[in-house]
Amino acid sequence: MKNFRLLLLPFGFLYGVITAVRNLLFSLKIKEVYQIPVKSICVGNLSVGGTGKTPHVAYIAELLSHDNQIQILSRGYGRKTKGYFLLDENSTAENVGDEPLFYHKQFKNTDVAVCESRKTGIENLLKLKENQVIILDDAFQHRAVKAGVNILITDFNQPYFSDWMMPAGNLREWISGRKRADIVIVSKCHSNLNSATKALYKQKLKFVPDSIYFSEIQYGELKSFNSNSTLSEVKKVLLVTGIANPIPLLNHLQENFEVELMQFPDHHAFSMDDIHKIHKKFDTFASENNAIVTTEKDFMRLQSESFNAVIDQKPWFYQQITVKLDRELEFKTEINNYVRAI
């Protein structure tokens, strides 16, 4: 696989040149840039998928929602619709995407919308209320709009300084794009990350040291799809995922259970045939002390009237997660100072 990717280096270089020219056109204001007229925070990355943007967006929304009116705007990746949609009680992962649906269910009094054109989405959100804070999910490369604060997420296990341009690597643009960020968060860190490793990463990230933070995943409860299922006496789980990188969750579950992974592509749109295959695999365990576990984002895509009756036949659970930042007080102060500034 590594040798194959080496063959793709010329294509990666070409892709990098194209993205660099595009970025230059925006930087020189040859291409129009829309400055968001209210407080706004963009959470994004330099690579494709898997850095953990969703729990960080949720973390920031939770931080700010107590004293501010929050709105979240996403492209709605994986949805089967186009254009602007404001989520409501009838929204499904199929028509708005799994991540926006998660935000909508997590933050009941928050406007959550999807739109391919971030400018169009922002203009529609501005019509709903005044003095809000808009959080943009995965819009770092969307140069047609400019947020007040840009937060760049990079995976500890595959940081941008050791990656390469697509298709040889996973970068969407050259790492010089980090200069547009105000904050860098190194995600999915080990809980016992030492100061020497942090210092090394700060050096290699080539960013303002005081604006680099390290975060780790915090695993919450395993929540049942229905009230009839419990985890008592469970010894083995079938882990079903449709996310970019299930390994951290796999490692976490293996601390308490014997785990078998059944992996689908990122943002996979589950079908009834998939459900039957999952249940067939689960049945091979031949024991009552087992369960099916999935992620909270996958749970959003498994919420369907057509699925419910079948899923209720088995003990399904989803894993709740949050993130914890080092220097948390400094991070919260930095974000709150921006939002409160006149």
Q: Note down pLDDT in tens along the chain; length 342 residues.
A: 556 677 888 899 999 999 999 999 999 999 999 999 999 999 999 999 789 999 999 999 999 999 999 999 999 988 999 999 999 999 999 999 999 999 999 998 899 999 999 999 999 999 998 889 999 999 999 999 999 999 999 999 999 999 999 999 999 999 999 999 999 999 999 989 999 999 999 999 999 999 999 999 999 989 998 766 677 778 899 999 999 889 999 999 999 999 999 999 988 989 999 999 999 999 987 677 789 999 999 999 998 878 888 898 899 999 999 999 999 999 999 999 999 986
> DSSP string spanning 277-338?
HHHHHHHTT--SSEEEEEEHHHHHHT--HHHHHHHTTS-EEEEEEEEEETTHHHHHHHHHHH
**Structural domains in the chain plus CATH codes:** 30-218+324-340 (3.40.50.300), 219-321 (3.40.50)
Global pTM reads: 0.92
Beta-carbon-side half-sphere exposure of residue 130 (alpha carbons within 13 Å): 0
Model pLDDT, residue 309: 84
Reduced to 3 states (helix: H, G, I; strand: E, B; else coil), residue 68 is coil
Contact between residue 31 and residue 146 where contact means Cβ atoms under 8 Å apart: no
Identify the burial level of 125 via C-beta atoms within 10 angstroms of its C-beta, where 0-12 means exposed, 13-18 middle and 19 or more buried: buried
Contact between residue 65 and residue 107 where contact means Cβ atoms under 8 Å apart: yes
Identify the burial level of 263 via C-beta atoms within 10 angstroms of its C-beta, where 0-12 means exposed, 13-18 middle and 19 or more buried: middle
Model pLDDT, residue 304: 82
Contact between residue 15 and residue 173 where contact means Cβ atoms under 8 Å apart: no
> DSSP string spanning 178-232?
GGG-SEEEEES--TT--HHHHHHHHHHHTS-GGGEEEEEEEEEEEEESSTT---T
Structure tokens at 299: 């749970």
Model pLDDT, residue 99: 94
Model pLDDT, residue 47: 94
Beta-ladder partners of 137: 43, 74
